[in-house]
Every structure is written in C-alpha cells, then in structure tokens.
Amino acid sequence: MKKLIALVLVSASSFSLAWGQNCSKFYPMTEGTSYEYTNYNKKGKVDGVTSYTVANVTSEGDATKATMELRFTDKKGKEVFNSDYNITCLDNVVRVDYKSLFPSQMMQQYSDMGMEMDISGTDIELPNDLSVGQELADANVAVAMSMTGMTMNINVAMTDRKVETRESVTTPAGTFDCYLITETNTSETMGAKQQMNTKLWLAEGVGMVKQETYKKNGDLMSRTELTKFDQ
C-alpha cells in the first residue's frame, strides 16, 4: 500500500508539470496524446511499463482542466493497476488534485472490506516557467485508514525540489534538451520512515523524459525512460 501511494504520487508529479497548450510550453494539449515509459530496476532489467493517455481536456473560465489515464503493467505484461487523476492549470501554475491520485479500484476494494479512508494533503503545484536554480514548492499527501477500531497512517512528502541544470538526454524515444529537477521523497508508515532522492528530466513539448530514484545513501534503486511518444 505504501509503495503504491509513493509510486502514484511521484508519477503524478512527473506528468503534471505545466499541463495545457494555452497554459504552458512543456506539454502538448491534445486529447489522445500518449506516453509509454519503461521502468528498470537497479540492475538495469525491465521491471514494468507505465502508460499515460490524455483522456479529456476542458476549459472552465481561465482554467484548463485535464484528466490523465495511467496504466501500469509488470515485466510479464500483466496489468497491476490503472487509474486517472485530475490536473488544473490556472494563473501560470499547475495543480494536481491529491485526492484523485489514488486508483479508484483500490479505493473501492478497501471500501468493500469495510475500511474507511481519510485523505488530506497539499496539491502538487508546478510553475509553467522553469529556470536553473529555481526552488519548487513542497507537496504531501496523508492517508488515515481505519477498520474495526484500528488505524494506520501513511504520509508521503516531496521536499527540497529544485531545478538543477539543463542537459541533453537520450532515450529510445530520441534525444531531448531537458531541465533536471531534483527532490526528496519521504514516506512514513506507523513511525517507520523511508527516504528516496529523485532526479527528473523534463523537456519542452514532451514532458518527462527520464527519472532516476536513489536510496538515501546514493545507491540507484530504479530508472524510468520515455520509450514511446505519440501525439
């Protein structure tokens, strides 16, 4: 459960930056646009594939809203989960609704088990314009799950977010001029903490090109690369 929440939260931040053709220069705003990312473990072996599709785009006043569909399959091609989440772009800032980050099938499953879930947090905010040295706002989500008098609390936070530099990155999808963003991801369950450091490469007109996750001691845990992009 904790790992799933962290995965969804980090994935959402990766794909939420500056959403909207009229709202940003980073991501294309076309319904049906799709991305495919291959996830690799620390040894460089394929661990699964994450696919994203722009499902719906609407305008409400000065705001642009989009629904992003997410599907994750393991290394054998079996679907692990699918979900969607909501993004709003307004006043030169993109906000991700933290409550929509949780897969609906997971929410229904726990509800059927008689479990109550209380979700709170801070929407992920990302500015449209990036510059080297820029610091980005922190984000977090907290989940309190209770059943038959027992409660389990899970907290995931993204902190120390900063635009480090610009550099060229090559993946199976091509070569891209990217901004490198670093951040710290900390998850806590019933007092037990786990900290990960993330490097995220973003390209104008495409979005996330590459992402690497490291342990607190600097050892590589996983890598994700853009392998297909259809607009």
- pLDDT tens readout for residues 150-197: 888 888 888 999 999 999 999 999 999 999 999 998 988 877 888 999
CB atoms closer than 10 angstroms to residue 109? 11
- Measured between alpha carbons, how far is 210 from 180 in angstroms, rounded to an integer? 9
| Residue 102: predicted pLDDT | 60
Q: Check residue 142 and give its pLDDT.
A: 84
pTM of the full structure = 0.79
For 164-195, letters b (16+ CB in 10 Å) and e give eeeeebebebeebebbbbbbebbbbbeeeeee
Q: What is the tens place of the pLDDT at every residue in 85-113?
A: 777 777 777 777 666 666 555 566 666 67
Domain boundaries, the chain: 2-230
Q: What is the CATH number of domain 2-230?
A: 2.40.360.20
Mean pLDDT of 65-81: 87
